[in-house]
Amino acid sequence: MEILKEQIRDKENFIKRMQRSSQVFEEQVETTEKVYEQQIKDQEERIRCMKEKLDEANKEIYGLKDELEKSQLDKAELQQQLKEMDQIKRSMLISIEVLTEEIKTITSQFESPKERREMRSVLKYIKCVAQSKMISDMSIHNLAFKIITFCTIIENIIGFC
């Protein structure tokens, strides 16, 4: 019987050790669970922050994309305006050449004061038209100024004839 009591005590001690080991294991599991839960919360917070940054970056990208599209449209519009201005410039240069030839022809043909007065009237008319164009369309300001100057020179030439 003594042996049995001893065995029972041994078994009870073993059970107590096992219970303590079990309790320690449970505490370790709880601690590990808390650590993992905290890590999950930290990861979720990082993901949330990254998502916010991504959303901000996407908004910025869309804003830049809109600005790029607008600047491309502005560029195309400016190129079109430049083409139109070049066309106007070519037309006015051709007009100047035609006027120059006409003035040469006319100045060689008039000799009387009456013819000179008529020529001055034509030149004044041309200057008035050029001045009105110069005021109404700033893109041809320099060209219109050249026409006015040219007409003034011709008026002076006629005055000396």
What proportion of the chain, given as a percentage, has pLDDT over 90? 39
Give the Å distances, CA to CA, from 5 to 9, 14, 124, 144, 155: 6, 14, 140, 128, 144
Q: Is the pLDDT of residue 110 over 90?
A: no
pLDDT in tens, 27-67: 999 999 999 999 999 999 999 999 999 999 999 999 999 99
pLDDT in tens, 4-27: 888 889 899 998 989 888 899 999
Q: Is the pLDDT of residue 160 over 60?
A: no
Whole-number Å distance between alpha carbons of 148 and 127 = 5
* DSSP-assigned states of every residue in 26-74: HHHHHHHHHHHHHHHHHHHHHHHHHHHHHHHHHHHHHHHHHHHHHHHHH
Two tokens, residue 1: 């019987």
Whole-number Å distance between alpha carbons of 18 and 5 = 19
The average pLDDT across 99-105 equals: 73
**H or E segment to which residue 7 belongs:** helix 2-109
Burial 35-44, CB ≥16 within 10 A → b, else e: eeeeeeeeee
Q: Is the pLDDT of residue 117 over 80?
A: no
pLDDT in tens, 118-129: 777 877 888 887
Q: Is the pLDDT of residue 155 over 80?
A: no
pTM (predicted TM-score): 0.42
Whole-number Å distance between alpha carbons of 49 and 72 = 34
Q: What confidence tier does 72 reach under pLDDT thresholds 50, 70, 90?
A: very high
Domain count, the chain: 1
Give the Å distances, CA to CA, from 95 to 118, 134, 139: 20, 15, 17
- Can you give the pLDDT at residue 111? 67
The whole domain housing 72 covers: 2-160
Whole-number Å distance between alpha carbons of 42 and 54 = 18
